[in-house]
C-alpha cells in the first residue's frame, strides 16, 4: 500500500530520482519567518542497504518511517527502527543511517531551522540526547508532507502556508510526545500558576474576571485563588492590577496617548478607577507620574 502511495505521490509531483522512489524539494532560507522555517522536505522508498553518512547537516532533519526498517547511529548509539518511528538529526552532529538489507525502509523527512526550532522539538521530547520519535498512530505526519507538496509553488502565500504546516506538524508531535523531565519536576500548582500569569499578561487589556481565568485554566475559582496566593504571596486580582499599572507606566512615555487612552488600553474604561488604582500602586496620580517622567527623561 505504501509503495503504491509513494509511486503515485512521486508521479503526481513529476520528480523522480533513480535511487528507489525519491522526491525532494529544497527551499530558500526564509527572511519572513526567522523563528521557524522549512529548508527541505521529501519522501523516499530506499533500495536495500541504502545509506547516508557518516556526515553532518546544517539544520534539523526529522525522518519518519512509513514502512520497512533500518538503523540510525549517533553519538555512539545505534538504534534499530521500523514503521511508525522516526529519528532527529541535529545541526552539526555526525550521524549515519542505513536501510535494512531485506526489508528496507521508506520514509518522509522534514528539514527546518529557526530560533524556535530547538524549543519546539524539545516540547515534543526530541533532542540530541533523545533523538527517536515514536508515533505510529495514523497517517497525519505523511499527510502534512502531502499538503506541503501540494502547496502551489507560485502562490504568494506559499511560504507562510508551509511554515503553518510545519507548526502543525510539531504541535502534533508535542501533543503525543513523552512528558519531559522538566514537566515531571514541576508541581501541578506551579503549572497552574504559570498558566494564570500567562493569561493575565496576555489579556490584561480585556475586561477579564477571576471567574474567566479559572474557567480557562479549568479549576474551581476558590481552589485556583488559594493555589495562586500560596505560590505568589499575592492574589490573582492584585497580580492583574499590578500588571495593568506596570503596562500603563510603560505607555506614559508616549505623549501621543492621553491618560484616558492609556486607561482604556490597560483594561480600565473608567479613568477615575484607573487613577485610583494607579495612585495606590505607584504612590502618585497618572498625571503627576507622567510629568515627573517627562522632566527626568
SS (H, E, C) 193-248: HHHHHHHHHHHCCCCCCHHHHHHHHCCCHHHHHHHHHHHHCCCHHHHHHHHHHHHH
Q: How confident is the model at residue 34 (pLDDT cuts 50, 70, 90)?
A: confident
Angle, vertex CA 19, rays to CA 15 and CA 23, nearest 5: 30
Catalogue all structural domains in the chain, each as residue range(s) with its CATH number.
Answer: 2-181 (2.60.120.280), 188-296 (1.10.10.60)
Q: How confident is the model at residue 210 (pLDDT cuts 50, 70, 90)?
A: very high
| Residue 13 pLDDT | 42
Q: How confident is the model at residue 136 (pLDDT cuts 50, 70, 90)?
A: confident
Residue 135, SS3 per DSSP: coil
pTM to 2 decimal places = 0.63
Angle, vertex CA 232, rays to CA 227 and CA 234, nearest 5: 95
Residue 289, SS3 per DSSP: helix
| Residue 187 pLDDT | 66
| Residue 19 pLDDT | 40
| Residue 279 pLDDT | 93
pLDDT tens for 66-87 read 999 999 999 999 999 999 999 9
Cell numbers of 287, please?
Answer: 498625571
Least confident range of 107-111, 156-160, 185-189: 185-189
Distance CA 249, CA 110 (A): 45
| Residue 213 pLDDT | 93
Contact 6, 43 (CB under 8 A): yes
Q: How confident is the model at residue 179 (pLDDT cuts 50, 70, 90)?
A: low
> In whole angstroms, how far apart are CA 263 and each of 118, 174, 243?
39, 39, 13
- Within 8 A by CB and 6+ apart from 173, the residues are 124, 125, 126, 133, 135
pLDDT tens for 220-263 read 999 999 999 999 999 999 999 999 999 999 999 888 999 999 99
Amino acid at each position: 500500500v505504501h509503495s503504491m502511495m509513494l509511486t503515485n505521490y512521486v508521479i503526481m509531483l513529476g520528480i523522480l530520482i533513480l535511487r528507489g522512489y525519491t522526491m525532494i524539494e529544497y527551499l530558500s532560507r526564509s527572511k519572513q519567518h526567522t523563528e521557524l522555517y522549512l529548508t527541505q522536505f521529501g519522501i523516499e522508498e530506499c533500495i536495500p542497504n541504502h545509506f547516508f553518512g557518516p556526515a553532518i547537516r546544517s539544520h534539523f532533519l526529522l525522518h519518519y518511517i512509513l514502512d520497512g526498517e533500518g538503523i540510525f547511529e549517533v553519538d555512539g548509539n545505534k538504534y534499530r527502527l521500523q514503521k511508525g518511528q522516526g529519528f532527529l538529526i541535529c545541526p552539526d552532529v555526525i550521524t549515519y543511517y542505513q536501510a535494512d538489507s531485506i526489508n528496507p525502509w521508506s520514509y518522509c523527512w522534514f528539514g527546518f531551522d529557526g530560533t524556535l526550532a530547538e524549543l519546539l522539538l524539545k516540547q515534543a521530547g526530541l533532542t540530541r540526547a533523545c533523538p527517536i520519535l515514536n508515533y505510529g498512530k495514523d497517517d497525519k505526519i505523511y499527510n502534512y508532507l502531502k499538503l506541503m507538496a501540494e502547496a502551489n509553488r507560485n502562490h504568494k502565500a506559499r511560504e507562510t502556508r508551509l511554515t503553518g504546516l510545519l507548526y502543525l506538524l510539531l504541535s502534533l508531535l508535542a501533543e503525543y510526545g513523552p512528558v519531559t523531565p522538566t514537566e515531571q519536576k514541576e508541581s501541578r500548582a506551579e503549572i497552574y500558576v504559570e498558566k494564570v500569569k500567562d493569561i493575565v499578561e496576555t489579556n490584561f487589556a480585556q475586561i477579564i474576571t477571576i471567574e474567566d481565568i479559572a474557567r480557562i485554566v479549568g479549576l474551581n475559582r476558590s481552589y485556583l485563588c488559594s493555589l495562586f496566593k500560596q505560590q505568589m504571596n499575592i492574589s490573582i486580582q492584585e497580580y492583574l492590577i499590578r500588571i495593568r499599572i506596570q503596562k500603563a507606566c510603560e505607555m506614559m512615555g508616549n505623549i501621543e496617548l492621553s491618560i484616558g487612552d492609556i486607561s482604556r488600553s490597560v483594561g480600565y474604561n473608567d479613568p477615575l478607577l484607573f487613577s485610583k488604582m494607579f495612585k495606590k500602586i505607584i504612590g502618585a496620580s497618572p498625571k503627576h507620574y507622567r510629568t515627573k517622567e517627562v522632566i527626568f527623561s
